[in-house]
Amino acid sequence: MKRIVALGAGVAAAVAAGCASLAIWSAPDKQASRERTALAEQADQLFWKTLHGGEYDKINEALTAVTAAYLENPGDAITAAHAGWLHIWRLAERERMEKVPPTITDDIVMSRKYFEESVRLNPKEPRYLGFYGSALLAEGNVHQDEKLTRKGYYTLLDSIMAWPEFNYFTVGYVLSTRLHDSPRFQEGLEYQWKNLDVCVNGKVDRQNPDYVRYMALDTKEGVKRVCWNSWIAPHNFEGFFLNFGDMLVKAGQPNVARRMYANAKLAKEYPEWKFKDVLETRSRDAEKNVAPFQQEEAAPGQPRIMNGSTFACTACHQN
């Protein structure tokens, strides 16, 4: 009798588990919204004002507005991405804080969640995929979760295939924080070279990367528009070459780095760029910066590579 009861209980549990799986499998997919709300458009304005103004201290205000808009309409991929961006910006430029709290890692989790939603709602937007992969990789590293780390890495590789002109930089930038003699850092450096190559449909000289000959390719249209400055990233061009120069210094190539830094000055917007003094100091001190850039943790007062600095995002996005 006990055996029959136990068998019956086992069958009931299996049926319940099967029902649960069926119920989850048959649930409708979350749908993307076709229209955006007035609240979302207001939040957009505050988002861009905050980012383009470099107003790091106002991230909470912008995040409150964007989150409210998302909660009103969770099917809005743009709003979800903006929430993810604000979280990742707060993390990326945390060196601005007087004291960085351990809870800053919560921004990684929230960024990953919001970019995951934006990818689900608009899987055809490769920029979301790149940011999602970046957040996954960061979350995996923080929690020492190798499966999550690998998922993030391979998501980043998928994002390159989807839009190489944009995501070669994204992936290279993420990998720029790895140890200078690690395979991943070398991979990230290679992606920066490949980014230049796909932007010019050619092969940029790796010993003398003089970009003067390519400036006539400047465009605001098509997939290559992200190789230049735009309203979204008013100093994308300058920021790209600042980061690339930093990575070359970290790789122990200060002479090539100095040439790369100089390319930033080719942008017609360069005179208005708020970080031109940083770039010119980096160029002057290229040899001196090799050692501090190669340290796993920069000592207090020493310069940091762009990804880890107080201008990790704003070097490209601040007006």
Percent of the chain with pLDDT over 90: 87
Residue ranges of the alpha helices (H) in 53-105? 59-72, 77-92
What's the pLDDT score for residue 21?
78
Angle of the 236-250 helix axis to the 183-200 helix axis, nearest 10? 140
Whether 12 has a pLDDT exceeding 70, the answer reads no
Q: What confidence tens digit (pLDDT) does each residue in 240-254 have?
A: 999 999 999 999 999
d(CA 247, CA 256): 10
What's the pLDDT score for residue 10?
57
Mean pLDDT of the chain: 94
Domains of the chain: 34-162 (1.25.40.10), 165-319 (no CATH)
In 3D, which of 141, 259, 251, 273 has the Cα closest to residue 196? Answer: 259
Q: What confidence tens digit (pLDDT) does each residue in 121-162 have?
A: 999 999 999 999 999 999 999 999 999 999 999 999 999 999
Whether 15 has a pLDDT exceeding 80, the answer reads no
Q: What confidence tens digit (pLDDT) does each residue in 96-107 have?
A: 999 999 999 999
SS3 70: helix
pTM for this structure? Answer: 0.92
Percent of the chain with pLDDT over 70: 95
What's the pLDDT score for residue 9?
53
DSSP-assigned letter for residue 280? H
